[in-house]
């Protein structure tokens, strides 16, 4: 759960289901990365991993890019097929199921990885110049989606440098000694704020290493709370003891 509290008094304001908010804020962060780091003409998307994060990512990506082609990959082909049918019916996206990253990634502009894998699912030789890779799945030290060689040869942007160095795909590149912390180009917040440049050429390969941060939860939870109050949603609970 997420407990949203008043910043001045510490009084609890709301208790929320964290699973749904995590899905939404993770996808929103990916969409921000696509807005700032993908090529301006990027329209071909590959999504690797068709589980809980996938629908929210497709909704979020559609907000920042017109998707002309969508390839879906999952170790369970039936799950990928169900997502393709949903994406076509609900979002109007031209979705198709692909058999492997090696087949689909070379022709994409944006590749999003949303898997719980503990070994790389995206290798350096699959990614062509100009691609943005948004690596979402590695949120603890044992998870690992991106080939360290791809990290080492790409412009790497992270959501949190300290956190990615300890538990993201950056963590594995550092352990493999193919990168140093100072090789990381920027945190995404610095790019959004204009303190660091984002994409500087159409040929750059950029990897966004996303581990998820508490600040994203706070921002999302505050918005949910404000909208719930405005629409009279939720259940009011009196926490104070009776006199």
Half-sphere exposure of 46 (CA within 13 A, CB side): 26
Instruction: Report d(CA 208, CA 169) in Å as an integer.
Output: 10
pLDDT band at 223 (very low <50, low <70, confident <90, very high): very high
- In angstroms, the CA 91 to CA 55 distance is 10
Q: Are 157 and 66 in contact (CB under 8 A)?
A: no
H/E element holding 104? helix 101-104
Q: Is the pTM of this model over 0.75?
A: yes
CA distances from 133 to 99, 141, 177, 220 (A): 19, 19, 21, 24
Secondary structure letter of residue 146 according to DSSP: B
Distance CA 158, CA 182 (A): 12
CA distance 138 to 52: 15
Q: How many angstroms separate the CA atoms of 87 and 94, rounded?
A: 8
Per-residue model confidence as pLDDT tens digits over 57-75: 999 999 999 999 999 999 9
pLDDT digits (tens, 9 = 90+) for 17-44: 999 999 999 999 999 999 999 999 999 9
For 208, the enclosing helix (H) or strand (E) is: strand 206-209
- Is the pLDDT assigned to residue 241 strictly greater than 70? no
- Domains in the chain with CATH codes: 2-230 (3.40.50.720)
Q: Measured on CA atoms in the order 73, 125, 212, 64, is the torsion positive or negative? A: negative
Neighbours of 14 (CB within 10 A): 17
Neighbours of 72 (CB within 10 A): 26
Which tens digit of pLDDT belongs to each residue from 107-159? 999 999 999 999 999 999 999 999 999 999 999 999 999 999 999 999 999 99
């Amino acid at each position: 759960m997420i407990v949203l509290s008043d910043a001045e008094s510490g009084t609890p304001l709301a208790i929320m289901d964290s699973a749904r908010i995590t899905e939404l804020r993770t996808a929103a962060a990916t969409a921000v990365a696509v807005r700032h780091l993908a090529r301006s003409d990027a329209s071909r998307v590959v999504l690797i991993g068709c589980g809980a994060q996938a629908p929210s990512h497709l909704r979020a990506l559609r907000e920042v890019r017109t998707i002309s082609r969508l390839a879906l990959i999952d170790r369970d082909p039936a799950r990928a097929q169900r997502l393709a049918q949903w994406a076509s019916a609900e979002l109007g996206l031209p979705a198709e199921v692909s058999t492997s990253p090696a087949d689909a990634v070379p022709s994409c502009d944006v590749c999003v990885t949303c898997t719980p894998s503990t070994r790389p699912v995206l290798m350096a030789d699959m990614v062509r110049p100009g691609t943005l890779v948004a690596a979402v799945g590695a949120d603890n030290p044992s998870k690992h989606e991106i080939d360290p060689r791809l990290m080492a040869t790409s412009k790497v942007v992270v959501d949190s440098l300290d956190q990615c160095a300890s538990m993201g795909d950056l963590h594995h590149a550092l352990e493999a000694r193919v990168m140093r912390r100072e090789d990381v180009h920027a945190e995404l917040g610095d790019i959004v704020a204009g303190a660091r440049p984002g994409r500087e050429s159409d040929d750059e390969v950029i990897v966004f290493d996303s581990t998820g941060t508490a600040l994203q939860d706070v921002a999302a939870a505050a918005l949910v709370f404000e909208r719930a109050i405005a629409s009279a949603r939720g259940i009011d609970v009196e926490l104070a003891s009776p006199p």
